[in-house]
Structure 1
Amino acid sequence: MTAELSPQPLDAFLRSVASTTYEEARRLPGAAVASSRDFDEIQAYVIDLYTGVDAVESYVETDGQVVDCIPEDAHPAARRWGGLAVAPDQGPPEPTESDEPTTPGPRSPDPGSRDVVSPPQHDVPAARAAPAGTTPLYRTTLSALCRYPNLAASSAKERPLGLAGTEAPAAALGKRYATGEQNLPCLGGASRINVWNPFAAASNQSTFSQQWYYAGLEGPVLQTVECGWHVDITMYGDAAPHFFVFTTRRNYEAGHSFYNQAGQVFQPVSNPYVRPGAPLAVSQSGGTQVEYKMGFYFTNNAWWLYFDDHAIGCYPAAWFDNGPMATHATRAKFGGEVGTLITQWPPMGSGRHASAGFRQAAYQRVATVNPVSGGAAHATLSDAGSVSGPCYSLQITNNSGPDWGSYLFFGGPGGDNC
C-alpha cells in the first residue's frame, strides 16, 4: 500500500512564501512572472489570503494538490461574504417530460452495464470530508501563480496565455466555439456533461466543455456565471480535465472576472461534495462514458452551483453590483470552446467530430433551462455561430425524450486555419 504524502505545514508554507525573492520565483518550474513588481503583487496576494488562517489538518489529493482544512469562519470567501453559504432547502426543478418526443435520442447508457455514467462520489477526488467545524481549501501557491505574467492573468478567462513579458490584449487569445444557445429570461439551467481529456499545449492553448448563463448582452455591462470542465496546464500544472466555475461581472475585465476560489467571490458551503478545481474522471473511446450533471439556479438571492444534484456554493447577487445578473439571465448556452495563441488550434471535446456519435464524440445531454416564470424545460437550442469545416463541428437535437432530452454532440481535432 502506498503511504499517504505529507504536505508542508501551512505555517511553514507561509514563511517560505514571505521569504521567496523575485529571482527565486523566476526559477520556479514554468515561471512566467513578468517583473519584480508583478511578483510583489502575487506574493502579497498569497500572504493576505492566509492572514489569520490556521490549518487543523492538511493533506495531499491524489492529483498532487494540497488541501488545508481551516476553520469555517477563516475561509477567504467567508470573510468576504460574512460566512459560508447555506444550501437552499430545495434544489432546482426538473423538466416536465412531453408525451411525444420530437426525435429519439441515441441509445441510452444502461446504468447496469459497463457503460455506467455519472460516477459516484468516490470518483471525484476532491470529495474527502473535512473535520467538523472546518472547511477544505485548495492551497494557493507561488509556483502556481508565477506561471502567469501577473496576478490579473491568473483569473481572466480571456487572458493572453503567452510567456513572461507578454503584454498582448485579451483579444489576442483566439477563440472558437461549437455551441447551442437559447435566448430567454431564465434562472439558470443544467446539463449532463461528458468528460474527455483532449490535448492542449502548455501556456498557449485551452479547451473547454461548459455552460454559460448571460445577461447584459445588448448593454454596456456583460455578466455571466459559467461551469464545466477544462484543460488548462498553466492553471493546474497538469493536463487533466478539471471541474471549474467562473464569473465575470464586467465584460471579462481583469479584477472583475474569476475562476474557482480566486478573488474570494465564489462562496462555498461548509463541506462541499466537490470543490471547483477538482480533477475529473475521463471517458474511454469506444467504452465507458463519464458524465457529471451540473448547472446553476438563481434562488435565495444567489446563483447556486449544483454538481450531481448537490449544492456546492454560490455567487451572491451582491457580486453583480445591481447589474443584469443580479436577478436573472437572458441567455443559456451549452457546448465547447477552445483558445490558442499559436497557429495550431487544439482539439475540442474528445478530438472527434460530432458525427462520430456516442462513445466517440463529446456530448452534453438533458440540457435544461429554468424560465423566470417557474419550473424547468428542455432547452430549445440553436447553433450559436459555431465553427464548421475540418476543425470542429456541432450536431443539436432538441426534445428527444426523457433520457437525452435536448442534447448536442460537438468537437473536432483542431489544426491549422480553423
Structure 2
Amino acid sequence: MDFVVRRQGRGFSSMNFFSWCLSSSSSTSIMSSLVHFLLLLFASLVPCPVIFCSSEINNNNNLGLVNQTFHPHQEVHKLRTIRTRLQQINKPPVKIIHSPDGDIIDCVVSHQQPAFDHPMLRGHKPLDPPERPKGHDKREMLLGEKFQLWRLSGESCPEGTIPIRRTREEDLLRASSVQRFGRKLPKPVRRDTNTNGHEHAVGYVSGDEYYGARASINVWAPSVANQYEFSLSQIWVISGSFGDDLNTIEAGWQVSPELYGDNYPRFFTYWTSDAYQATGCYNLLCSGFVQTNNKIAIGAAISPTSSYNGGQFDISLVIWKDPKHGNWWLEFGSGILVGYWPSFLFTHLQDHASMVQFGGEVVNSDPSGSHTSTQMGSGHFAGEGFGKASYFRNLQVVDWDNNLIPLTNLRVLADHPNCYDIQGGINNVWGNYFYYGGPGKNDRCP
C-alpha cells in the first residue's frame, strides 16, 4: 500500500518520501516520528477490541502499543469485506430521508428488501395482513406511527416501499466482528446465575402452548457504560431445549452504542433458530423478517421517551402466529402491522412457543470483578414505582384459538437483584404488570 503525503497541493510518492527520509541526516528521528504517526492514525481509525480496551486502557491507563503491528494488506482486506457486506445490506433507495439524529433512511421497494435475498423468498412479495388475535383492546390508541425521530420532519416513504435505516462503513468499523455484525453473541437464555455477562430482570410464563404475546413497554434512555454493552427491554417468544436448537422471536427497544453509534433508545427486532449461533439478526440486517409497513423504520430512534418524575411513554407490541399461514406477525400500537417472520425460518416455532418472557437485559463486560454501571430500564429499582421505575403492563399471551388472554402463572426473576430487580402485580387497569430495572453498580452491587 502506498502512503501519499501532500502539502500545499504537492505530493510525494511513497518511494520518494522514504528515500528522502533515508537520505536525511535526521533519518532516525524522522522515521521514528513517522512510525509513531502511523500507529496513532491506525488507532484512531480502528475500534479497540474488547480485551484491549478493557485491560489496557481501563485498568492501566496506557495505550499498551507494545507488540501492536500495522498490517496494510489486512486492512485492505477488511475494508473490502466491509464494502461487500454493505452492498448485501443496503438496497437501492427510491427516496432518501435524513433524520434529525443523523440517521439516513432509505425508502426501498418492498420486494427488494433484504428478506427476499433468502432462497425460499426469492420472487415472492409481502403477504396480505392476517387475522388479528381476538380480544385486542382498541381503546389503547397511542401515538400512531409518528413515534420515531425520522418522522418528526413530516417525511415518509411512498406506498410500495419500506423505510430501512442505512448501515454505514463506520457501523461495521465499530463492530467487534464484521462477520457477526448485526448478531448477538451466542449465550444462554435460561435464567440462572451462569449468564456469561448477560443479566436479566424478567417476568415469564411456561408450561403451556403459546401462540403469541402482548405487552406495553415503558421507554427510557438508560445510560450504557461503554461501546460493548447494551441495555434493552423486550418480549421473547421462545421454543426449543435451551441448547443449540433454541428458537426465539424478540421485539422491543434497546440502547446499543456498538450497533447504532449513539445512546438513543431504538425500536428493534431479533430472531434465531439455533441459539444465536449462525442464524438470525437484528432488524433487517439479514434475510428473514419481512417488513410490510412504510411508516416505521426498524432500528430507528424512538421519540419521546419517559422522564424521571415526569411524563411516561410506552409502546404496545403484539407478536402472534397467523392461524392460516403459520407466520409470526408483529404489530405496533393498535392495528399497525410492522411485518412478519416466515414460519420456515424456525424449527420448534413452526408449531408454537413453550415460553414467553418479558423484561430487561443488560451486558456486563467489566473483567475486573466490579459491576458495570450500565442501567436497566430507567436506572432505578422497582420499588420506586410509577414515574420513576420502568414497567411492563397489560401482559397477555395468545392461545391456540388466536385469543389474547391474561396470564395466570406469571413468575418474576432477577439474576442479580442488588443490581437490577423486579416486582410484579395485577390490577383492573394494567392487568398483569411489573416494575423492573436498576442502576447496576451501587453500594449493594459493587
> 2:46, 2:173 within 8 Å by CA — same for their partners in 1?
no
Q: Does the CA-based 8 Å contact 2:157-2:294 persist in structure 1?
A: no
User: In the alignment, does 2:233 pair up with 1:209?
Assistant: yes
CA distance in 2: counterparts of 1:26 and 1:92, whole angstroms: 53
Instruction: State the match for 1:330 in structure 2.
Output: 354
8 Å Cα contact 2:308-2:387 kept in structure 1: yes
Contact preservation (8 Å) 2:98, 2:150: no
Deviations 1:294-337 (A, max 9, x none): 131111321111111311111101111xx101121111111111
Counterpart in the other structure of 1:355: 383
Relative distance call for 1:264 and 1:218 in structure 2 (3 A) is closer
Per the alignment, residue 395 of structure 2 pairs with 367
Instruction: Provide closer, same or farther for how the CA distance between residues 197 and 29 of structure 1 changes in structure 2, counting only shifts above 3 A.
Output: farther
Deviation of 1:172 (Å): 8.7
For the residue of structure 2 that corresponds to 1:77, the secondary structure is helix
Give the match for residue 55 of structure 1.
93
Amino acid of the residue matched to residue 111 of structure 2? D
2:83 to 32, 37, 43: 43
1:404 aligns with 2:430: yes
Aligned to 1:17: none
Quick one: distance in 2 between partners of 1:356 and 1:77? Answer: 43
Match of 1:77 among 115, 123, 147: 115
| Partner residue, 1:65 | 103
Matched AA of 1:275: A
Where structure 2 has 5 or more consecutive residues not aligned to the other structure, the ranges are 1-39, 51-70, 188-193
Residue 175 (structure 1) aligned with residue 198 (structure 2): yes
Aligned AA for 1:60? H
Q: 1:144-223, aligned counterparts within 5 Å?
A: 144-158=171-185, 173-183=196-206, 184-217=208-241, 220-223=244-247
* Structure 2 contact 412–423 (Cα < 8 Å) conserved: no
Q: 2: CA distance between counterparts of 1:311 and 1:120? A: 11
Pair 1:377-2:405 in alignment: yes
Instruction: Find the counterpart in structure 2 of residue 263 from structure 1.
Output: 286
Partner Cα distance (1:210, 1:360) in 2: 19
* SS of aligned partner of 2:180: helix
| Structure 1 residue matching 2:170: 3-state secondary structure | helix
SS of the residue corresponding to residue 414 of structure 2 reads coil
Residue in structure 2 matched with residue 135 of structure 1 by the alignment = 162
Give, in whole Å, the separation in 2 of the partners of 1:267 and 1:95: 23
Q: Relative to 1, partners in 2 of residues 1:63 and 1:45: Cα closer, same or farther, differing over 3 Å?
A: same
**Deviation digits for residues 24-79 of structure 1, max 9, x if unmatched?**
997548576995455443321112345xx533221211221111223333222234
- SS for the counterpart of 2:86 is helix
- Out of 313, 321, 328, which is 1:290 matched to? 313
1:313 to 321, 339, 354: 339
Q: In 1, Cα distance between the equivalents of 2:144 and 2:314?
A: 10
194-203 vs 371-380, which moves further: 371-380
State the Cα deviation string for residues 352-390 of structure 1 (Å, max 9, x = none): 111111111000100110012431211235435413543
Gaps of 5+ in 1: 1-22, 97-109, 112-116, 161-170
Confirm or deny that 1:251 pairs with 2:275: yes
The answer on whether the counterparts of 2:232 and 2:377 sit within 8 Å (CA) in structure 1 is yes
Q: Is the 8 A contact 2:157 2:295 kept in 1?
A: no
Residues in 2 aligned to 1:230 and 1:259: alpha-carbon distance in whole angstroms? 11
Q: Give me the TM-score of the superposition, normalised by structure 1.
A: 0.78
Aligned to 2:403, what secondary structure does the other structure show? Answer: coil
**Displacement after TM superposition at 1:218 (Å):** 5.5
Offset of 1:86 from its aligned partner? Answer: 2.8
Q: State TM-score, norm by structure 2.
A: 0.74
> What does residue 92 of structure 1 align with?
133
**Structure 2 counterpart of 1:20:** none
Change in CA separation of 1:84 and 1:369 when aligned onto 2, cut-off 3 Å: same
Query: Does structure 2 conserve the Cα–Cα contact (< 8 Å) formed by 1:31 and 1:143?
Result: no
Letter in 2 for 1:332: V
Moved more, 32-41 or 242-251: 32-41
Paired residues in the alignment total 360
Q: CA RMSD in A?
A: 2.9
Q: 2:299 maps to what in 1?
A: 277
Alpha-carbon distance in 2 for matches of 1:38, 1:372: 49
Moved over 4 A (4+): 23-35
Percent identity at matched positions? Answer: 26
Cα gap change, 1:250/1:329 in structure 2, threshold over 3 Å: closer, same or farther? same
Per the TM alignment, residue 129 of structure 1 is displaced from its structure 2 partner at its CA by: 2.5
* Higher radius of gyration, 1 or 2: 2
- Where 1:262 maps in the other structure, the secondary structure is coil
Q: Distance in 2 between matches of 1:272 and 1:202?
A: 33
How far apart in 1 are the matches of 2:42 and 2:326?
Answer: 41
Secondary structure in 1 matching 2:230: strand
Return the offset for 1:149.
Answer: 2.7
Q: Could you say which residue in structure 2 is the equivalent of 1:164? A: none
Displacement after TM superposition at 1:120 (Å) = 3.8
Aligned AA (1:175): H
**Shift, 1:179, TM fit:** 0.6
CA distance in structure 1 between the partners assigned to 2:86 and 2:242 by the alignment: 37
| Deviation for aligned residue 1:142 | 1.3
